[in-house]
Amino acid sequence: MLSFQLHAKMRVEPQNWWVGMQNNTLQIMLHDQGIAKQQWQLASYSGVSLKSVTKTDNPNYAFLNIEINPIAKPGVLVFSSKSGEHFEYQLHARKVNSSKRNGFDSSDTIYLINPDRFANGDSSNDTVKGMLEAANPIERGGRHGGDIQGVINALPYLQKLGVTQLWLTPPLENDMPSYSYHGYAITDFYTIDPRMGSNELYRELSVKAKQHGIGIVMDLVLNHFGSEHEWMTDKPTSDWINFNGEFAKGKHATSHARQTIQDPHASEFDKRQFSDGWFVATMPDLNQRQPLLANYLIQNAIWWIEYADLSGIRVDTYSYSDKAFLADWTKAIMTEYPAFNIVGEEWTTNPAIASYWQAGKVNNDGYTSSLPSVMDFSLQESLIQALNEEESWNTGWVKVYQSIANDFLYPNPDNLLVFADNHDMSRVYTQLKQDLAKTKMAMTMLLTTRGIAQMYYGTEVLLDNTGSNDHGDIRIDFPGGFKGQPSNAFTGQGLSDEQHDMQQTITTLLNFRKQSPAIAQGKLVHFSPEAGIYSYARISEQQTLLVFLNKNTAAKNWSLAYLQEVIGQHKQAVSLFTEQQINITDTVTLAPMSATVLIIE
């Protein structure tokens, strides 16, 4: 808890810290009118010292550089200035084994939610007095009222479905005049948006989710922020924002030319246009080369990990930030939490570019990353193409086969995030032209291949945006999450037969993933597609899975002779979906347009 004298409006970030951290330094940012004129001192506190104060070209900011030695105990630091101002600063004890926390891994299924569109658990915060945008549930780009309480209320459903991790698009304050529901125009990096709940409620979500066997993955934005943030009118330093805090379309907009980062022939001008350019005028681009800002962003991530007991981070628009900063940011977090996991969004279907960012990659330019995971956009695109194309030597399943064959480029392909769709693209059911059989094949493949599975909310009940590519329609309201809806995915009421079928298929797959050693640790062996069938095995010491994806419109009596290297002496398997015993000594019958998963114990 903070207390102030005189400068009651002084902003302190981060608002508290912890003893026993691996990094024993802390930088506290103070923001108030003329604060740099004050001369600060720290009252005597064992193991803690104020080493220096950094001032900038803006007299409204001061940065207190603190050292917290291992002997320091939890308690309250008291800072005072010679002119009489003072404030108290809390040092907390860390959760037991906080540094040893395990991040999400290949045994997990991450369920991606746009909280504004998932469930309205507290209608009293739909519109909050003093905030720039009110609720407008009939507008596709408006705020619909979903919130953190709605996610908490849904935890029993998510546990039954088989979800083990939740990724919420940023719930942080987005106090923007319009189109603020998505969360990526942050106006306060340390505060949950009041229309979503509160910091305390977000922490309650984390606690209650863990009681349901579910971890929390926070979506962090390092590249940009919202134009209504106080930094736009009172920058901590003159170089805090790229292009001097000004946006001119065509001049200061990002080129999106991500290949310039790896291109050995790229000009410095092109590199800067990519990394320094803004997305839009409402999302100013941060200059992570500014050391005070870099440290601010590192501390912000660590603060949320400790405060909300996170099990992972997803980083938005990863490669757009300064790459030297990204190396420092990931290293700082992974040094503090060696078993943690972070996935970066690098939206490219070229694995040569995506793999550049994964930890362990030996890059020609000497760049060293500590980022454990990247998103596998190559596989996502290939899977949709494979299911929509006719089979030939260079179309259909061969696209998936070739995409996965590029795994030699990655230091750790088992730690890639695989997905069929997300909040920025049409839903998988839409991309597959509302074909239930194809959608079931797509999800079976993604939930049984190598990597960490991510599923977009509502996929289990075939949410659809056919006829519109507008993000507001892609991020459709979850059935049952809002009053007046004709169907309810939580209870099953009003769902079609196809929706029930898909929901049961997903429930079976997700709950199997939770206890399958072949999924969690198994080696992937896949076979060249033939006759419209793509097949592969997941092999661990305890269990082997055989997966057959049959695009044919007729049943196939399929010979298993080519699978001897993975079947060995086994003669029986159990079908995941039918629970029947299957003889695997000769052939199996594959239903038309179907996914077959056989379990060999």
CATH of the domain at 53: 2.60.40.10
pLDDT > 60? residue 3: no
**Residues 60 and 88 both lie in one domain:** yes
Q: Look up the domain containing 474 and give its range.
A: 107-172+180-217+416-515
> pTM of the entire structure?
0.97
Considering the domain boundaries, does residue 279 fall inside one? no
Could you confirm whether 336 is annotated as catalytic?
no
**Residues 557 and 496 both lie in one domain:** no
**Residues 450 and 534 both lie in one domain:** no
Burial label for 508, CB within 10 Å (0-12, 13-18, 19+), is middle
Considering the domain boundaries, does residue 526 fall inside one? yes
Could you confirm whether 316 is annotated as catalytic?
yes
Q: Please report the pLDDT score of residue 4 as a whole number.
A: 38
Q: Please report the pLDDT score of residue 11 as a whole number.
A: 96
Q: For residue 575, which amino acid is it?
A: S
d(CA 301, CA 186): 14
CATH of the domain at 575: 2.60.40.1180
Confidence at 2, pLDDT banded by 50, 70, 90: very low
Considering the domain boundaries, does residue 359 fall inside one? no
**Residues 551 and 587 both lie in one domain:** yes
Catalytic residue among 345, 346, 460, 477: 345
Q: In the predicted model, what is the mean pLDDT of residues 49-67?
A: 98
d(CA 209, CA 212): 5
> Considering Cα of 8, then 9, then 12, then 15, what sign does the dihedral take?
positive
Domain edge (last residue) among 460, 483, 515: 515
Considering the domain boundaries, does residue 268 fall inside one? no
**Residues 502 and 531 both lie in one domain:** no
Please list, residue by residue across 570-580, b when 16 or more beta carbons sit within 10 angstroms of its beta carbon and e when fewer do.
eeebeebbeee
| pLDDT tens-digit series, residues 27-46 | 999 999 999 999 999 999 99
Alpha-carbon radius of gyration of the chain = 26
Considering the domain boundaries, does residue 342 fall inside one? no
Domain edge (last residue) among 463, 492, 515: 515
CATH of the domain at 147: 3.20.20.80
Q: Please report the pLDDT score of residue 5 as a whole number.
A: 41
Confidence at 350, pLDDT banded by 50, 70, 90: very high
| pLDDT tens-digit series, residues 457-515 | 999 999 999 999 999 999 999 999 999 999 999 999 999 999 999 999 999 999 999 99
**Residues 26 and 66 both lie in one domain:** yes
pLDDT > 90? residue 308: yes
| pLDDT tens-digit series, residues 360-411 | 999 999 999 999 999 999 999 999 999 999 999 999 999 999 999 999 999 9
Considering the domain boundaries, does residue 409 fall inside one? no
Question: Would you put residue 234 in left (φ > 0), alpha (ψ -120 to 50) or beta?
Answer: beta
Domain edge (last residue) among 515, 542, 560: 515
Q: How far is CA 194 from the centre of its chain?
A: 21
**Residues 536 and 508 both lie in one domain:** no
DSSP 5-34: SS-TT-EEESSEEESS-SS-EEEEEEESTT
Considering the domain boundaries, does residue 253 fall inside one? no
**Residues 116 and 89 both lie in one domain:** no
Q: What total of structural domains would you count in the chain? A: 3
Catalytic residue among 173, 228, 276, 316: 316
Confidence at 83, pLDDT banded by 50, 70, 90: confident
DSSP 125-188: GSS-TTSS--B-TTSTTSB----HHHHHHTHHHHHHHT--EEEESP-EE---SSS-TT--S-SE
Confidence at 8, pLDDT banded by 50, 70, 90: low
Best CA proximity match to 258, nearest among 320, 314, 315: 320
Whether residue 504 contacts residue 497, with contact meaning beta carbons closer than 8 Å, is answered with: no
The DSSP symbol for 282 reads T
Q: How far is CA 220 from the centre of its chain?
A: 8
Q: In the predicted model, what is the mean pLDDT of residues 237-252?
A: 92
State the greatest distance between any 2 C-alpha atoms of the chain, in Å, as a whole number: 88
pLDDT > 80? residue 1: no
Best CA proximity match to 508, nearest among 576, 450, 462, 451: 576
Q: Please report the pLDDT score of residue 257 as a whole number.
A: 95
Considering the domain boundaries, does residue 494 fall inside one? yes
